[in-house]
Structure 1
Amino acid sequence: MKKIGLFFGTFNPIHIGHLVIANHMVEFSDLDEVWFIITPRSPFKVKKTLLDNHHRYQMVFEAIQEYPKLKANKIEFELPQPNYTINTLVHLRESYGENQRYCLIMGEDNLKGFHKWKNYETILEENELYVYPRVSEGKVETQFDNHPRIHKVAAPIMEISSTFIRREHKNNKNIRPLLPENVWKYLDEMNFYR
């Protein structure tokens, strides 16, 4: 049975930090693949800086071409909004069958608020969490300490953010080293975030 790590995000844009984390998870844990689950643009919250779904999907697709264990997935684009992770997990099982196990990949900062997620107990009963370190304030709920379904993975700490990249690109700074080459080319050709 395949173990699939689900890496959720807007990936606006995907950057080398995302790639480092995803690749680390698939190479240094028991995950067989990592799927980038691209969060759709909410029809209720129009953010000028959030690119359309197909552009963000295309950038993820471009970024992972040379990484056969990493996949781009747009399953959330088809789900009614607002959507919750529990619905995505149900939809994945319905779409791909029961012959793979899904694990959520999240930063330690997200684990701190995990107890506020819709149906988080059910998510944890049916899935494992793979948590990578993040520099952030606050503490993880004690109920998640030494939890058998939560695995801390000693991935590198990546202090790169898409927000920083968008802002500094707009300010005409060279952010090219922070992006996979194909993503840089796509972003530059399309003149995004200017």
Structure 2
Amino acid sequence: MSDRIRTALLGGTFDPLHNGHLTIACSVLEQNLADEVWLIVTPCNPWKTDQKLLDDQLRYEMVSEAVKEMKGVRASDYEFKLDKPSFTANTLRRISADYPDREFILTIGADNWVKFNEWRDHKFIQANYKIIVYPRKGCEVKELPASVTLLNSPLEDVSSTIIRNLVSKGEPINHLVPESVARAIREKKLYQQL
């Protein structure tokens, strides 16, 4: 048995972070699939290079504030120092070298798992890392290899896109995001115009 700290990496633009992200993190910990969950705030999605995002540091600060009281969950700006876009395999190689005391576990949605074979260096990832797949609406996951675990987590009917659209229409989001995120969006007047 390894003495390394099992650390699940849940990457995303978190534009903004919502309750669904936190449900996934909590489910990973509750099911003892990892000792810690790091929410990796990514500067850009390699598959959505034309995506307009809030400032990296602002998104990181919102995630940090939302998880600061959550035992076992932390925000990470690790990808900020990597070349952009940072593909997952590159991030895993670098972070594993920088933190040899940790066993990193990739955490992805079922929507990403169904197209995982299109990812850059997907064979390297699957050969060297455990993977946790969380459910996504409309994505059925069939058979999984032994190194891949399907997370038993409720399906949250929320997305960052939905939240941005609600904010731009002046509709409430308090039931969809942590209170600190709702406050930051309100005080900084974020997502007012899309």
TM score, norm. by length of structure 2: 0.91
Equivalent AA in structure 1 for residue 189 of structure 2: N
Q: 1:124 aligns with which of 106, 126, 142?
A: 126
Q: Distance in 1 between matches of 2:153 and 2:144?
A: 18
TM score, norm. by length of structure 1: 0.91
Q: Name the counterpart of 1:189.
A: 187
Secondary structure of 2:74 counterpart:
strand
> What is the deviation of 1:115?
0.5
Q: Distance in 2 between matches of 1:6 and 1:74?
A: 12
Structure 2 alignment gaps of length 5 or more:
none
Q: 1:161 aligns with which of 152, 159, 162?
A: 159
Q: Distance in 2 between matches of 1:188 and 1:92?
A: 34
| Structure 2 counterparts to residues 44-63 of structure 1, below 5 A | 45=49, 47-48=51-52, 50-63=53-66
Report if aligned partners of 2:43, 2:85 keep a CA contact under 8 Å in 1.
no
Secondary structure of 2:175 counterpart:
helix
Q: Name the counterpart of 2:104.
A: 102
RMSD over aligned Cα atoms? 1.8
Equivalent AA in structure 1 for residue 89 of structure 2: I
Q: 1:84 aligns with which of 75, 87, 94?
A: 87
Equivalent AA in structure 2 for residue 110 of structure 1: N
Q: 1:179 aligns with which of 177, 180, 185?
A: 177
Q: Distance in 2 between matches of 1:191 and 1:83?
A: 29
Structure 1 alignment gaps of length 5 or more:
none
Report if aligned partners of 2:10, 2:37 keep a CA contact under 8 Å in 1.
yes
Equivalent AA in structure 2 for residue 175 of structure 1: I
> What is the deviation of 1:99?
1.8
Segments of 4+ moved more than 2 angstroms: 44-48
* 1:147 paired to 2:145: yes
Equivalent AA in structure 2 for residue 30 of structure 1: L
Residue correspondences, number: 188
> What is the deviation of 1:51?
0.3
